[in-house]
């Protein structure tokens, strides 16, 4: 593998990213050429491939530890012990339930946080037993993001095996609350308490060649209309919660949004009423708003709130009443975030894959743990998991780990380029 890598033409890699300066291009070319000449780096890359079976075994073991939304503690405690066994420093579980430890460098470089998320979308009681058939693994959560958790452990082992001394510190860990109503609570808590972090890599997503560097934001609401209720015939003439809800849904369905930046809305769940012959006293819905641009997301939010109140007002006016009210609760707030593609952390990820003879792709915006630090101005990306998978977020989720080690190699080379190696390469990632 080494000779093939050293024959790679790095100038072709960087010339396509026009905003990078000549000086920066030269730096990247030097960094990756130098890294791939090192015996320790080749040893680490080879080890990652050799360690593939253990990575898959840990993927299976962790999958079978349930991690329902807001109930990730059992899996977190197990992962905590795994990090301790890998001899990271200062391994801890914070108040939110995130677990992480530090691989200390020389203290001369930046601090990089590398993590996957502990939680799955599946409720408590879901059978997460892994079934293997013809080399393919089947289980709820087998890919998203348990494969990412296993890859983080493989990365730590590769560093231990190679004894590479880095200029900067690397924090390896796992976060809670990435999925659904978790609202990125884990990564939000981590960055609130760890303001010294200079960059972030999330190991998530189904494709190892994809690099996510843009964040799709989302706001989520639960809206509940409350009225007096009553008999459908005897109390006819009172405002009805379900009618108000219907008015609101009709108004929402008529909202106009842009395709660029992509901005969307949906009413996801509805409930209400008690009987076919009763005036509904209560009716509710959940609403999801998304956009790749924060300003557009905020504008859509304002329009949503306006039509929700208009529906209540119109239902009261229809019956000459003021008895119907509306309660609006915001339970999701994921910021939209954008970064220029010439940031060193993005270019490092591209360069690492190219150096390994692969064809990276800058993915369209997505919603991942990287959204939050990205919105704070901290350089952040999400790197895809290895292998192939499908039917994520369903009971039929599957993952084929064949060749999955290549994603770990991508991540490893990206990381060492960002934090630098003692006496060899300077960190590409800037320290605050």
pLDDT at 93 over 60: yes
123 near 47, Cβ under 8 Å? no
Residue 4 pLDDT class (50, 70, 90 cuts): very low
pTM of the model: 0.91
Query: Is 27 part of any domain?
Result: yes
* 76 and 21 part of one domain: yes
Structure tokens at 215: 């964040």
356 near 408, Cβ under 8 Å? no
* 211 and 224 part of one domain: no
Find the mean pLDDT for residues 108-122. Answer: 97
Read off the CATH number of the domain in which 20 is found.
Answer: 3.40.630.10
* 104 and 208 part of one domain: yes
The label of the residue with tokens 């801890």 reads 92
Nearest to 220 by CA among 285, 270, 288, 271: 288
Rg (CA), the chain: 25
Cα separation, 385 vs 191, in Å, equals 23
pLDDT at 1 over 50: no
Query: Residue 250 CB: number of other CB atoms within 10 A?
Result: 11
Condensed to tens digits (0 to 9), the pLDDT of residues 53-88 reads 999 999 999 999 999 999 999 999 999 999 999 999
Q: What is the pLDDT of residue 19?
A: 44
Domain assignment of residue 271, given as a range: 220-334
214 near 337, Cβ under 8 Å? yes
pLDDT at 89 over 50: yes
Q: What is the pLDDT of residue 23?
A: 57
Q: What is the pLDDT of residue 28?
A: 85
Nearest to 341 by CA among 293, 386, 368, 374: 374
Q: Mean pLDDT over all residues of the chain?
A: 94
Residue 94 C-beta-side C-alpha neighbours within 13 Å: 19
Q: What is the pLDDT of residue 183?
A: 97
* 284 and 269 part of one domain: yes
Read off the CATH number of the domain in which 314 is found.
Answer: 3.30.70.360
Condensed to tens digits (0 to 9), the pLDDT of residues 236-294 reads 999 999 999 999 999 999 999 999 999 999 999 999 999 999 999 999 999 999 999 99
Give the whole-number percent of the chain exceeding pLDDT 90.
92
Question: For the CA atoms of 196, 330, 363, 411, what is the dihedral angle to 10 degrees?
Answer: 40
The answer for residues whose C-beta is within 8 angstroms of residue 106's C-beta and 6 or more apart is 165, 166, 167, 422
Query: Is 425 part of any domain?
Result: no
- Phi then psi for 171, rounded to 5 degrees? -100, 120
pLDDT at 350 over 70: yes
Our count of domains for the chain comes to 2
Domain boundary among 334, 352, 384: 334
Residue positions counted in the chain: 432
* 196 and 237 part of one domain: no
* 324 and 342 part of one domain: no
């Amino acid at each position: 593998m080494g000779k093939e890598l050293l024959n790679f033409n790095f100038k072709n890699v960087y010339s396509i990213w026009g905003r990078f300066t000549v000086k920066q291009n030269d730096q990247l070319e030097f960094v990756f050429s130098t890294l791939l000449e090192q015996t320790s780096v080749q040893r680490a890359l080879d080890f990652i491939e050799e360690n593939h079976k253990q990575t898959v075994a840990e993927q299976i073991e962790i999958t079978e530890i349930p991690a329902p939304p807001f109930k990730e503690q059992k899996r977190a405690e197990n992962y905590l012990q795994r990090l301790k066994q890998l001899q990271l420093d200062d391994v801890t579980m914070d108040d939110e339930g995130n677990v992480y430890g530090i691989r200390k460098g020389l203290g001369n470089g930046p601090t990089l946080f590398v993590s996957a998320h502990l939680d799955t979308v599946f409720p408590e009681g879901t059978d997460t037993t892994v079934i293997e058939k013809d080399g393919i693994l089947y289980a709820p959560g087998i890919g998203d993001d348990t494969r990412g958790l296993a890859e983080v452990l493989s990365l730590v082992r590769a560093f231990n095996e190679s004894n590479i001394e880095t200029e900067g510190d690397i924090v390896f860990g796992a976060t809670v609350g990435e999925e659904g109503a978790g609202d990125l609570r884990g990564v939000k808590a981590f960055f609130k308490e760890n303001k010294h972090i200079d960059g972030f890599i999330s190991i998530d997503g189904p494709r190892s060649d994809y690099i996510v560097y843009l964040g799709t934001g989302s706001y989520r609401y639960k809206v509940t209309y409350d009225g007096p209720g009553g008999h459908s015939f005897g109390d006819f003439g009172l405002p009805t919660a379900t009618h108000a809800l219907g008015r609101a849904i009709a108004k929402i369905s008529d909202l106009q949004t842009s395709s660029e930046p992509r901005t969307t809305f949906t009413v996801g769940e509805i409930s209400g009423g008690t009987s076919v012959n009763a005036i509904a006293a209560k009716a509710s819905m959940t609403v999801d708003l998304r956009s790749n641009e924060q300003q557009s997301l905020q504008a859509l939010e304002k329009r949503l709130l306006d039509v929700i109140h208009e529906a209540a007002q119109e239902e009261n006016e229809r019956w000459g009443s003021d008895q119907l009210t509306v309660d609006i609760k915001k339970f999701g707030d994921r910021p939209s975030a954008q970064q220029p593609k010439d940031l060193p952390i993005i270019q490092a990820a591209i360069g690492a894959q190219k150096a390994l003879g692969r064809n990276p792709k800058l993915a369209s915006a997505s919603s991942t743990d990287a959204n939050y630090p990205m919105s704070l101005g901290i350089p952040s990306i999400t790197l895809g998991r290895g292998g192939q998978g499908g039917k994520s977020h369903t009971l039929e989720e599957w993952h084929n780990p064949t060749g999955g080690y290549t994603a770990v190699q991508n991540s490893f080379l990206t990381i060492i380029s960002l934090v630098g190696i003692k006496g060899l390469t300077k960190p590409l990632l800037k320290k605050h």
